């Protein structure tokens, strides 16, 4: 799969390269934005939804390896964007991107990547790269594209080595909204697009945006809530002034312990006031930290649309969509936290409930987008407890 970093000359036809921090160099065919970017290399096993994956802010600072070989063949459209803020910095794929073949497409994947300044490299043995990540963990690397094949490998290697990695990095502030606003979008329907949220809906949910996917807010609307979205560092007083019936903690990128420096005190204060809380992904981790648990960096993380999760209350298995490289350490759960869900892949924590409080969280994404819809009931559960 790899060439030594000492071999600087690209093979014939190589216009893309991935330079790993350990010196491994992998050549391929670049597409999308011309340039270079640094990040953590991870893999996603979903067979659909590459546009939603690339625009998920939880992928900030990451390069996504798609295990499904045919990425880009259905093109892109304006409706499947999860967020306009930063998402994945680039992607690695097996096959060259073909012309789109889908009635919803209005732009090719390559043109879309160019427009969003994201780099792609094709022609990579993604199975070998995925095995490497599974065995050795998610590595740091630089991904680069130059149509002329001119790459300064020593400079790219230096950049990969100097990048500090996601552990200890707070990225939520970088991808969060800058000011609060009332959410207006509703569920999507074929041929109609996204609906409008009723302005007078009750109850009122204040959603703290640590890097959220828009479809989360649409699912809260679908469950019957009116939603106001606020930035990651919104104070307790500002949240309470909005008179929430409940507070939602969104997904987001980076190390939860770093984001928790400013997020956890606010969440603790909300719990002290018995405000109902629902957290997803990073929001779930924030809730765990606020209740006294700890988080840790995972070896390879969970990313895909086919992850089995066991609901401990009744043994039901939900097939879920996931995207996380950190997790609540279930060995550190204090007596005040009930573990509600676990991964059937590795036994890691996937859900908690705070005893004596209307507060719970899940590590996975019940809004899917892309993925199965087994877990929409969680939105209904949350909204239902706010009446």
Q: What percent of the chain has pLDDT over 70?
A: 98
Phi, psi of 248 (to 5 degrees): -105, 135
pLDDT at site 200 = 83
- Is the pLDDT assigned to residue 315 strictly greater than 80? yes
Residue 238 is among the residues annotated as catalytic for this protein: no
Q: Averaged over 279-285, what is the pLDDT?
A: 98
pLDDT digits (tens, 9 = 90+) for 180-190: 999 998 888 88
pLDDT of amino acid 387: 76
Interval 169-173 mean pLDDT: 97
Partner residues linked to 152 by β-bridges: none
Mean pLDDT of 47-51: 96
Residue 365 is among the residues annotated as catalytic for this protein: yes
Fold (CATH) for 3-162: Glucose Oxidase; domain 1 (3.50.30)
Q: Which of 4-13, 234-243, 287-296 has the lowest mean pLDDT?
A: 4-13
Active site residue 284: no
What gap in Å lies between CA 137 and CA 142, rounded to an integer? 16
DSSP notation for 215-245: HHHHHHHHTT-EEEEEETT--HHHHHHT--S
Question: What pLDDT sits at residue 69?
Answer: 95
Q: Determine which one of 281, 284, 302, 324 is catalytic.
A: 281
pLDDT of 254 over the 90 cut: yes
Question: Rounded to two decimals, what is the model's pTM?
Answer: 0.96
- Tens-place pLDDT, residues 188-239: 888 898 998 888 878 999 999 999 999 999 999 999 999 999 999 999 999 9
pLDDT band at 3 (very low <50, low <70, confident <90, very high): very low
- The enclosing H or E element of 185 equals strand 185-189
Taking only Cα atoms into account, the Rg of the chain, rounded to an integer number of angstroms, comes to 21
pLDDT per residue as tens digits for the range 103-161: 999 999 999 999 999 999 999 999 999 999 999 999 999 999 999 999 999 999 999 99
Would you tell me how many other CB atoms lie within 10 Å of the CB of residue 268? 16
The mean per-residue pLDDT over the stretch 15-33 comes to: 98
Q: What is the mean pLDDT of the chain?
A: 95
Nearest-angstrom CA–CA distance, 319 and 343: 10
Per-residue model confidence as pLDDT tens digits over 338-377 = 999 999 999 999 999 999 999 999 999 999 999 999 999 9
**pLDDT higher than threshold 70 for residue 7:** no
Q: How far is Cα 126 from Cα 132, in angstroms, rounded to an integer?
A: 10
So what's the pLDDT on residue 362? 98
- The mean pLDDT of 50-59, rounded to a whole number, is 97
Q: Hey, which CATH number is domain 172-384, 1.10.150.20, 3.20.170.30, 3.40.50.880, 3.40.50.720?
A: 3.40.50.880
* pLDDT value, residue 1: 53
Angle between helices 214-222 and 377-384 (to 10 degrees): 60
Going by C-alpha positions, the residue among 344, 362, 339 that lies closest to residue 284 is: 362
pLDDT of residue 187: 87
Mean pLDDT of 9-20: 93
Are 76 and 107 spatial neighbours (Cβ–Cβ below 8 Å)?
yes
DSSP secondary structure, 127-143, as one string: HHHHHHHHHH-PPEEEE
Q: Which is the catalytic residue, given 116, 302, 307, 365?
A: 365
Spatial separation of the C-alpha atoms in residues 137 and 251, rounded to whole Å: 22
Task: At 120, list the tokens.
Answer: 């792609």
Which tens digit of pLDDT belongs to each residue from 70-92? Answer: 999 999 999 999 999 999 999 99
At residue 8 the predicted structure's pLDDT band, cuts being 50, 70 and 90, is low
Domain range annotation of the chain: 3-162, 172-384
Could you tell me the CA-to-CA distances from 107 to 101, 102, 104 in Å, in that order? 11, 10, 9
Query: What letter would DSSP give residue 365?
Result: B
Q: What pLDDT does 198 receive?
A: 85
- Using CB atoms within 10 A of its CB, is residue 317 exposed (0-12), middle (13-18) or buried (19+)? exposed
Assign 6 a pLDDT band (cuts: 50, 70, 90): very low
Which of 226, 212, 338, 345 lies closest to 287, judged by CA? 338
pLDDT score, position 36: 98
282-290 and 256-272 helices cross at what angle (nearest 10)?
60
């Amino acid at each position: 799969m790899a060439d030594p970093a000492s071999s600087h000359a690209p093979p014939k036809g190589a216009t893309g390269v991935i330079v790993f921090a350990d010196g491994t160099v992998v050549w391929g065919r670049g597409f999308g934005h011309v340039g270079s970017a640094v990040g953590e290399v991870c893999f996603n096993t979903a067979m659909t939804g590459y546009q939603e994956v690339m625009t998920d802010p939880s992928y900030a600072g990451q390069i996504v390896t798609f295990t499904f070989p045919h990425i880009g063949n259905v093109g892109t459209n304006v409706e499947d964007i999860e967020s306009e803020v930063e998402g994945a910095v680039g992607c690695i794929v097996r096959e060259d991107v073909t012309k789109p073949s889908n009635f919803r497409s209005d732009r090719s994947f390559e043109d879309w990547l160019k427009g969003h300044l994201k780099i792609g490299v094709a022609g990579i043995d993604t199975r070998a790269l995925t095995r490497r990540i599974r065995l050795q963990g998610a590595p740091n690397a630089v991904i680069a594209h130059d149509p002329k094949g001119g790459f300064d490998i020593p400079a790219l290697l230096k950049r990969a080595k100097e990048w500090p990695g996601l552990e200890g990095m707070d990225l939520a502030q970088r991808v969060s909204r800058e000011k609060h606003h009332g959410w207006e979008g509703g569920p999507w329907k074929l041929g109609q697009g996204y609906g409008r949220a009723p302005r007078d809906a009750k109850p009122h949910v204040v959603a703290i945006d640590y890097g959220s996917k828009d479809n989360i807010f649409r699912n809260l609307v679908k469950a019957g809530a009116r939603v106001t979205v606020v930035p990651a560092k919104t104070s307790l007083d500002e949240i309470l002034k909005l008179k929430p019936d409940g507070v939602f903690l969104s997904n987001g990128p980076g190390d939860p312990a770093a984001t928790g420096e400013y997020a956890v005190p606010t969440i603790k204060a909300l719990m002290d006031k018995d405000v109902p809380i629902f957290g997803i992904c990073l929001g779930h981790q924030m809730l765990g930290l606020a209740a006294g648990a700890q988080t840790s960096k995972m070896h390879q993380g969970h990313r895909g649309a086919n992850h089995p999760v066991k609901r401990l209350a009744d043994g039901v298995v939900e097939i879920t969509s996931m995207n996380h490289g950190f997790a609540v350490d279930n060995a550190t759960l204090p007596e005040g936290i009930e573990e509600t869900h676990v991964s059937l892949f590795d036994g890691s924590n996937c859900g908690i409930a705070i005893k004596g409080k209307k507060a719970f969280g899940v590590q996975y994404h019940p809004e899917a987008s892309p993925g199965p819809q087994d877990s929409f009931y969680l939105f209904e559960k949350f909204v239902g407890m706010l009446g």
